[in-house]
Structure 1
Amino acid sequence: MPVRLSRSDLRFLQVFEAVARHGAFSAAEAELNISGSTISNHMTALEERLGIKLCQRGRTGFRLTEKGAMVLDAARRLFKAIGDFDAEIGALKGTLTGELRIGLVDSMVTDPNSRISEAIAAFGGRGGDVSVTLMQDRPQELQQKVYDGVYHCGIGSFPHLISGLESVPLYDEQHYLYAATDHPVLAEDAVTPEALRQHAFIRRGYWRAADEKRLLLGPVEATVHQIEPQLMLILSGRYLGFLPEHYARQWVEDGRLKAILPDEVAYTCTFCLILRKGYRPTETLKTFLRDLRAAHGTADALS
């Protein structure tokens, strides 16, 4: 017989989605504001209701079953459809409603070229009843979540865009190579690209081979996926690595960091808005996108 979802079923599905996203019961407790035992009871009730084993859980950790992954995908499509329905009904009444879920990469707030806060201020000033969620992810995970519909849109630097997404440039970010002021390379008479080859470098985990060949001038001895851990490693005085100029500025002014060969060793990355191709945005999302591109002065953008 077909499953006719009740309000309780929707709640159980919300708990399941949160647990799957966090990868553990304990990690989902804070978001759901319920105990681990209650989460376990909800998961058991959902499995009994659907007649499907959703996950393996125990001493070995949490893992979705094959059917559990399919249910998760269906649940996310359901939540997205409900949110879009709320937004469309609100639009018919002339009111912005529903959810707006935005994914961001890290370390953007110190960039004066980023106008996301201004866009959110303009959007919020329009009134309505919209729940806004900002989440931070690594670039590849962020792209996948936009594609899957977990986020309505994403903002970040994506030099390698996955299939099924489209992007609109918003602004550029300048990166330089930095060393702590007590790093041995700065004690040398002259810093040259050849001299850099003798010192340990930090790579970004999402760089491709071409990026590494161009940017890693010395042996790779550390890997990061976000900017703040890279700053920590550089400040240790043991590694050289690239940072956004705006993010490093405070430590440069404090005398703790120095850019190395800024006229020779640097690169620029473009920050973009990304959406899933073919997705028909709700009026709520359309309105935010208009405010976002107006804040950045980009006229030819997705709508």
Structure 2
Amino acid sequence: MLSQVRDLDLQLLRLFVSVVENGGFSAAQGELGIGQSTISTQMAKLETRLGFRLCERGKAGFRLTPKGEQVLLATRKLFGAIEAFKGEAQGMADKLLGSLSIGLSEALDTQVMERLSAAIGRFRQRNQAVQIELFSAVPGELERRLLQDQLHLAIGYFSDAQAALERSPLFVEPQALYCGAGHPLFAQPNVSREQLRQYDGVHHPYRFIQLDEPWQAVSSSARCEQVEGSLAFILSGAHIGYLPRHIAAPWVARGQLRELLDGRSGEPLDFSVQFHLASHRGRQPSEAQRAFVEDLQQAFA
């Protein structure tokens, strides 16, 4: 009995179908390129493997047994399934599959979002069937999820302290120092560094201190990780602090925020934060992840 289907069995079954389609052993010789005796030997070997006769051959001519007819139907189904598999496998060879979980830093600029959406659009034009999930959070949470394999990629600003993250620069976000309309400094055109030290600043617990950051609060009774929280503190008129320029811009236009300038030079007390595309250094990226990174880097080039 046939307990396993081996390569040899497939060869014998193909010979069997050829014999049937040609109407007998003699007629199949030309197509198969082998002699009648060899065909007869191969057919006998297949019947031995199956455990029953497939056909009657002799002076009365060639005809299938009832079991032979059933084997013929089953063989054609088998070869049809093999061809379907080959077609699907060939399609999968060039197709991106799987899923991507991508973390985004909060409150990104509209231009950044436009480039991100362009990267997604470019990726969707590929031969792919990939489920993409976008997750927005503060950088500390993005780091945690990357390290715990809950994210494949993350866009944010990250410190150099985490060696497990592989980072590549993506864009910079300008930050400026602001106060609200109710703050004592709001009416002053320029502010000295000495004056700034007197006032309560918003403390951002994750933001790593940069050497070129123009102002650092001496005292702070306001603490917030999210940009929206920092904005609320500054709008209150009780605190000063840094905000991304694109977040502050509409409030400045409405006269509710003002950028603080250096009293000596009249220059902005601003700096830029480098945003990176980060992934876990120890994880092998999928084909889909590599393709998306390529599209993302082109969009931000």
TM class by smaller structure = 0.5 to 0.7
TM superposition score normalised by structure 2: 0.63
Residues 190, 260 of structure 2: 8 Å contact kept:
no
Residues 114, 171 of structure 1: 8 Å contact kept:
no
Matches within 5 A, 1:45-194: 92-112=92-112, 115-126=115-126, 128-188=128-188, 190-194=190-194
Residues 91, 198 of structure 1: CA spacing in aligned structure 2 closer, same or farther, 3 A cutoff? Answer: farther
Which amino acid is the alignment partner of residue 276 of structure 1? Answer: H
**Aligned residue number for residue 261 of structure 1:** 261
TM superposition score normalised by structure 1: 0.63
Residues 105, 155 of structure 1: 8 Å contact kept:
yes
1:275 aligns with 2:279: yes
Match of 1:290 among 276, 290, 294: 294
Which amino acid is the alignment partner of residue 235 of structure 2? Answer: L
Partner Cα distance (1:206, 1:212) in 2: 17
Which amino acid is the alignment partner of residue 235 of structure 1? Answer: L
Residues 101, 133 of structure 1: 8 Å contact kept:
yes
Partner Cα distance (2:298, 2:123) in 1: 11
Classify the secondary structure of the residue corresponding to 1:171.
strand
Task: Give percent identity, aligned residues only.
Answer: 31
Partner Cα distance (2:90, 2:260) in 1: 54
In our comparison, the structure showing a higher alpha carbon Rg is: 2
- What are the ranges of 5 or more consecutive residues in structure 1 without an aligned counterpart? 1-88, 298-303
1:134-178 Cα offsets, whole Å, 9 max, x none, are 112221221121122110011111133412111000111110001
- What are the ranges of 5 or more consecutive residues in structure 2 without an aligned counterpart? 1-88
Partner Cα distance (1:234, 1:164) in 2: 35
1:206-241 Cα offsets, whole Å, 9 max, x none, are 135677996324421101111111111111111101
Which amino acid is the alignment partner of residue 138 of structure 2? Answer: R
**C-alpha displacement at 1:201, in angstroms?**
0.6
Residues 210, 130 of structure 1: CA spacing in aligned structure 2 closer, same or farther, 3 A cutoff? Answer: closer
- Alignment RMSD (CA, Å): 2.6
Number of residue pairs matched by the alignment? 209
Partner Cα distance (1:96, 1:213) in 2: 43
**Aligned residue number for residue 22 of structure 2:** none
